[in-house]
Amino acid sequence: MVQKIDDIIIQKTSRLMIPFMQLYSLYVLVHGHGSPGGGFQGGCVLAASFILMVFAFDIEFLKKKFSERNLLLFCCIGVFIYVGTGFLCILLGGKFLDYSFLSKILPCTPIMARYYGMAIIETGVQITVMAVMVSILLDLATVGNLE
């Protein structure tokens, strides 16, 4: 069980760091197609910001934000974004995750459609990874009892 730490230095530093960690996670996501990074790494950094909340404040603080139902919903939304993008490509006449066919519904060239398609699925990966990592932390910290 994670115990509450009443250290003002840790709490104030965390309040400053958490928004920057979350912003950095978005940076890693957005620049993941052209440089190292992407949805998985961005999701891990985003989950780390929520995990820092637990250590700085309390497990109850995070349990209010993320119930087991909400975490499951985030997992499903992320997987739906990924798979839905792939099936949309099939419906448009291409192969699974052949993003160039997204140009039929997006006002762009097939090359830019590939870029946007990668961004869409990486966002789904980031949401899923964040939800799974936070879920694992909450399960370990509460011994599977999120009530």
Domains in the chain: boundaries: 8-142
Q: Is the pLDDT higher at 140 or at 83?
A: 83
The predicted-structure confidence for 34-63, as pLDDT tens digits, reads as follows 666 788 999 999 999 999 988 888 888 788
Q: In angstroms, rounded to a whole number, what is the distance separating the alpha carbons of residues 24 and 127?
A: 15
What is the pTM assigned to this prediction?
A: 0.86
pLDDT for the residue 131: 95
Q: In angstroms, rounded to a whole number, what is the distance separating the alpha carbons of residues 135 and 129?
A: 10
Phi, psi of 95 (to 5 degrees): -95, 170
Amino acid making up residue 104: K
Question: Coil, strand, or helix at residue 93?
Answer: coil
Amino acid making up residue 144: G
Cβ–Cβ < 8 Å for 87, 96: yes
